[in-house]
Amino acid sequence: MNREAKLFIISGPSGVGKTTIAQKLFQEVEGLVGSISCTTRERRGAERDGIDYRFISSGKFQDLIKEGAFLEWAGILESLYGTLRDDIEAQIAAGNDVLLCIDVQGAAQVLKEKPDTVAIFIMPPNIEELRIRLLNRGESEGEIERRIDLAKKEIERVSHYHRVVYNDVLHKAVDLVKSIVYAERQKMV
């Protein structure tokens, strides 16, 4: 019996470990793929264009908005981020489940258009731990404070999500997200 491919979202504050969790899932869960977001922000460190993000100009991003190319998009701290609709539709049509790592504004847009989407919020153990993780990532003091302020606002939106996973121990958080994906795959309706 064929089942319909599923769309999953993981959101959570910057530095909470969403990307690490998602990467683990892509390696370990067959038939689960991601999407390469477009962004107008500058490339950071070892990031690769077309692999980690599609780094595009603000002009190009605005054109894509006008064309309706984005399933969702959001402005996050001076930069724009968006998920291309065609990418997702192609993966779903191919029978792959898709996991999007997007912010709370983007998640709200996807849930409105595709209410069957399963939305998972990754929660830091506490704000101090989040601050330490951002510091270890090499963010500047000012940037850390901006991201902490944003994190507090994002955490207020947690009730819009179907599942909450605390990332205090990485492998436990990975196992929990994996179990959510597997449980969804067993659903009849």
Q: State the residues that interact with ligand 5GP by CB under 6 A.
A: 14, 18, 37, 41, 72, 74, 76, 81-83, 101-103, 105-106
Contact present, 165 and 121 (Cβ < 8 Å) = yes
For ligand 5GP, the closer CB: 39 or 180: 39
Q: How many CB atoms lie within 10 A of CB 104?
A: 23
Nearest-approach distance from CB 50 to ligand 5GP, in angstroms: 14
Amino acid at 185: R
Nearest-approach distance from CB 56 to ligand 5GP, in angstroms: 12
Distance in angstroms (rounded) separating the CA atoms of residues 80 and 160: 22
For ligand 5GP, the closer CB: 14 or 167: 14
For ligand 5GP, the closer CB: 76 or 181: 76
What is each CA distance from 88 to 53, 85, 124, 189, in whole angstroms?
A: 15, 5, 28, 21
User: How many Cα atoms occupy the beta-carbon half-sphere of 138 within 13 Å?
Assistant: 2
For ligand 5GP, the closer CB: 127 or 183: 127
Q: Residue number with the shortest CB distance to ligand 5GP?
A: 106
